[in-house]
């Protein structure tokens, strides 16, 4: 079981659930890329986190939070 690959698969699944098409999510490797793509549709990080919790993907929640902290340079 490769948790990193599983998280990437989750990002792609979530992107589809937010209405993104396959060609829009190709090459997506982390939560910030997903957020960049769905934020143009008016969604927020709390909405993304809520959706992750609803589908019980806490590994993806942890990954997204780590991406946010890294992106913010904290």
Q: What are the domain boundaries of the chain? A: 3-72
Render each residue's pLDDT in the chain as its tens digit; 74 residues: 566 777 777 777 777 777 777 777 777 777 777 777 777 777 787 887 787 777 777 777 777 778 778 877 76
- Provide the pLDDT for residue 50: 82
- Taking the whole predicted model, whether its pTM rises above 0.85 is answered as no
- Burial readout 28-47 (b: 16 or more C-beta within 10 A, e: otherwise): bebbbbbbebbeeeebeeee
């Amino acid at each position: 079981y490769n948790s990193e690959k599983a998280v990437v698969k989750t990002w792609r699944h979530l992107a589809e659930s937010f209405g993104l098409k396959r060609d829009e999510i190709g090459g997506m490797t982390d939560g910030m890329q997903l957020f960049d793509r769905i934020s143009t549709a008016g969604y927020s990080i709390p909405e993304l986190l809520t959706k992750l919790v609803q589908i019980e993907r806490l590994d993806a929640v942890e990954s997204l939070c780590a991406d946010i902290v890294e992106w913010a340079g904290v």
